[in-house]
Amino acid sequence: MQINKSSILIDVRNALGEKIRGAEARFFLYNQRLRSLDCAFRVKLGTAPILLTDVPAFPFGAADLVISIDRYHGKKRFVNVAAGEALELREVFLLVVCFKQSACYSVRSVPA
């Protein structure tokens, strides 16, 4: 069976709108129609947006995208990847702050 492939371009930023750099990010795509098309990516964040390639596309492009970045709260969203064109996403992540081992909070950075 021939599966269409496409790509997802993801720009990740913190609550101040700054690019998140130097952290390790994990991207998991859980396909809604065929579990055999699930895929995972692990990248080190730099200055450029992340390009996930060879992602199953329409008619098998409906997937749950789970994003996990070190020191930030994870996110999950539904995506529908079209064939022949890159899906562009911009996601904002909140930092996780732990004052004690048992108490972790999410904080939104506020400019001074």
Domain count, the chain: 1
What number is the average pLDDT over the span 92-98?
A: 81
1-35 pLDDT, tens per residue? 788 999 999 999 998 899 999 999 999 999 998 99
Q: What global pTM score does this model have? A: 0.81
Q: How far apart are the first and last CA of the chain?
A: 56
Is residue 112, in this structure, part of any structural domain at all? no
Q: The domain spanning residue 18 has which CATH number?
A: 2.60.40.1120
Which domain covers residue 58, as residue numbers? 5-107
Give residue 46's pLDDT band: very low, low, confident or very high (50, 70, 90). very high
Is residue 15, in this structure, part of any structural domain at all? yes
C-alpha to C-alpha distance for 91 and 10, rounded to whole angstroms:
7
Between 97 and 5, name the one with better pLDDT: 5
Paired residues of 106 in beta bridges: 96
Q: List CB contacts of 2: < 8 A, sequence separation 6 or more.
A: none
Contact 28, 15 (CB under 8 A): no
